[in-house]
């Protein structure tokens, strides 16, 4: 498998812009939208859907894309929350694994003025007590970061918070004191 084609992030950006502009009006949408027929919410309104790739740790110590179809969300912070929740729910393919243990939850997301997403993770355990080495720590962090940034190009970086604090590191190998940006080096190729 290869990383997301360059056109999909643009299509997602256009979809979010179209959703904002059209305020949910039916009609032809940009390329990221799927055409699986209308699906309704409780009011009977059509729900737009978009295909995204979630990047899970897998074979070869790489991040592998797994396609999902999700409801389109117009607010960027809510879209980040949806992506991270889907990622933490785990993969459907057996060869991939969760980036973080099941005990880890996302409790909130907020964006600052420079389009940095602050992702609030919560767990009963401190991250340094989790069993991971340097590669696992990088895969866990960049699974979240690359999933957000490759699907939502309007987001410039991701800050990972743990139990309400921005930590120096999760396990001592990766500096998490600054916003993390897209890192394609861990993405699986072909």
- Average pLDDT of span 7-19: 40
For the record, the structure tokens of 91 come out as 């993969």
Query: 117 pLDDT exceeds 70?
Result: yes
- pLDDT tens digit sequence for 153-164: 999 999 999 888
Instruction: Give me the pLDDT at residue 105, please.
Output: 95
- pLDDT tens digit sequence for 14-31: 334 433 333 333 333 323
Query: 101 pLDDT exceeds 50?
Result: yes
Q: What is the dihedral of CA 78, 83, 89, 90, to 10 degrees?
A: -170
Does residue 66 sit in helix, strand or coil?
strand
- Average pLDDT of span 55-79: 96
Strand extents, DSSP E, the chain:
49-58, 62-71, 105-111, 116-122, 157-162, 165-166
């Amino acid at each position: 498998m290869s990383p997301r084609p360059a056109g999909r992030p643009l299509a997602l950006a256009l979809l979010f812009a179209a959703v904002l502009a059209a305020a949910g009006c039916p009609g032809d949408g940009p390329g990221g939208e799927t055409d699986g027929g209308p699906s309704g919410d409780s009011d009977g309104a059509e729900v737009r859907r978009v295909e995204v790739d979630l990047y899970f740790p897998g074979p070869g110590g790489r991040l592998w894309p797994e396609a999902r179809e999700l409801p389109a969300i117009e607010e960027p912070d809510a879209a980040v929350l949806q992506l991270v929740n889907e990622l933490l729910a785990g993969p459907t393919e057996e060869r991939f694994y969760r980036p973080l243990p099941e005990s880890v939850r996302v409790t909130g997301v907020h964006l600052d003025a420079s389009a940095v997403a602050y992702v609030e993770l919560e767990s009963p355990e401190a991250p340094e007590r989790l069993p991971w080495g340097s590669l696992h720590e990088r895969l866990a962090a960049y699974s979240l970061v690359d999933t957000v940034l490759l699907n939502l190009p309007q987001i410039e970086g991701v800050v990972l918070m743990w139990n309400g604090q921005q930590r120096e590191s999760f396990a001592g190998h990766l500096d998490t004191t600054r916003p993390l940006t897209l890192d394609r080096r861990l993405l699986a190729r072909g």
